[in-house]
Structure 1
Amino acid sequence: MKLEVLEKDCYYHIYNRGINGTTIFENDTNKLYFLKQLAKYSKDKISIFAYCLMNNHFHLVIRLNSEEKEVTQAFSNLFNSYAKAFNKQVNRTGSLFEKHFKRIKLKDENYLKQLIVYAHLNPKHHFDLDFKSFQFSSYQTYLSDKETKIERNEIINLFGDLENFIFYHNQKNDFLNETYTFE
């Protein structure tokens, strides 16, 4: 599979999972460490618009602020540092993530909005968890007034306002909850 070329000032869905679907986050401490390393290695290189950390995979919605080589190296450093720490903690060796992180270039603002909601609804989709209270997605960050590295104002403006941001998430959540009967 040929990997999407990363371009400065473009938006991307970045995601990966554990090799063979293995767990990459065994506990909250692992997830907090991953977010800390993400902030450390990506500082000024990307803008983060959404994230969700599940037990065996993650989703990031980002914009590149630097050239591809610099961003790719930052992600490599992030994944290597996290894998080494995780492997040491659980007494394992070898690759933790699938070979390359996946990346999809977002073509327009509508796709960007859909992807942000998709990332936030991941807990509901995979584990029937309440996405609104899921600790390891950026959804709650948008509802908070606390300082954040998430590009909150830019995305709230993309949705129109905070009410529309919440409404859009609830509409998509309702769609996931619908059951269809076929006659």
Structure 2
Amino acid sequence: MAYKIPLESGEIYHIYNRGIDGCNLFYEQQNYTFFLEKYAKYVSPVMDTFAYCLLGNHFHLLVRIKSEEQRTQLREKPSPKGTHITLNPSRQLGHFFNTYANAINKKYKRTGSLFEEAFERKKVTSDSYLTTLIDYIHKNPVKHGFTNDFTDYPHSSYHSHLSEKNTKLDREYVLEWFGGRNELQKFHIQQQDYDKIKDLIIEFD
């Protein structure tokens, strides 16, 4: 197995995973909803999410790992109850993948692994790349032929950033980064040069 860089506190990562052998992860609308619900339960306690996009057989996340202090919580079980535990980001992602895979296998009467064995991740080493990577993730449905207009695609974080409804996204950080909703929209309308972030892009053919 190839070495995977660790997920370090305070660092930003582009995280990617897909269905094993390219199989579907999402079959119907309720799968997307269930995915985000379980993501909120297992992953939100350890990561701030800046952007995401869910597509038939894969997904993209742009996240920042929370500090150890933020990831420390009271242990509810097993005993000794009341002691503190610091949640591990990679382990939480593993719990999330297993929970989702078990539910999909049960519902659609499939067996075996659902996700690739190890999720791909790349550290965002320059703040200047952050805006372009968010744009890239939101426009991924166009790249893969799901739509001709990324603003029509319902399973990305783009519309959540423009909304004022409650969200698990770190919307405040992203909007401040772009300079507000209008500036975020203006940036997404423009054609971006993805070559400058090619080292941060993760895709499988």
Name the TM-score, length of structure 2 as normaliser. Answer: 0.80
Distance 2:142 2:46 in 1: 30
Deviation (angstroms), 1:172: 2.8
> How has the CA–CA distance of structure 1 residues 168 and 37 changed in structure 2, closer, same or farther, with 3 Å as cutoff?
same
CA contact (8 A) 1:10 1:63 kept: yes
Shift of 1:161: 2.1
Three-state SS of the structure 2 residue aligned to 1:32 is helix
| In the alignment, structure 1 residue 137 sits paired with structure 2 residue 124 | no
**One-letter code aligned to 2:55:** M
Gapped regions of structure 2 (runs ≥ 5) = 69-85, 195-205
Amino acid at match of 2:106: K
Task: Give the number of equivalent residue pairs.
Answer: 175
Q: 2:183 maps to what in 1?
A: 164
Distance 2:32 2:47 in 1: 19
Q: Is the 8 A contact 1:121 1:173 kept in 2?
A: no
User: How many Å separate the matches in 1 of 2:192 and 2:160?
Assistant: 18
Please state whether the residue corresponding to 2:51 is helix, strand or coil: strand
CA distance in 2, matches of 1:105, 1:127: 27
Q: 2:167 aligns with which of 145, 148, 159?
A: 148
Measured in 1, the distance between the counterparts of 2:134 and 2:39 equals 18
Q: Which residue of 1 aligns with 2:77?
A: none
Show structure 1 runs of 4+ deviating over 3 A.
66-69
What amino acid maps onto 1:157 in structure 2?
E
As a proportion of its length, which structure holds more helix?
A: 1
Which deviations, in whole Å up to 9, do the C-alpha atoms of 1:149-174 show, x marking residues without a partner? 11111111111222221111111379
What's the Cα RMSD here? 1.8
- The match for 1:98 is 116
Name the amino acid aligned to 1:96: L
Question: Counterparts of 1:38-117 in structure 2 under 5 Å?
Answer: 38-67=39-68, 70-117=88-135
Instruction: Please give the alpha-carbon distance, in whole angstroms, between the structure 2 residues aligned to 1:57 and 1:132.
Output: 19
Identity %: 42
Deviation at 1:61, TM superposition (A): 0.5
Structure 2 letter corresponding to 1:155: V
Match of 1:11 in 2: 12
Q: Take 1:54 and 1:173, find their aligned partners in 2: how far apart are those partners?
A: 21
Q: Which secondary structure state, in structure 2, belongs to the residue aligned with residue 127 of structure 1?
A: coil
5+ residue gaps, structure 1 = 176-183
Aligned mates of 1:174, 1:112 — CA distance in 2: 13
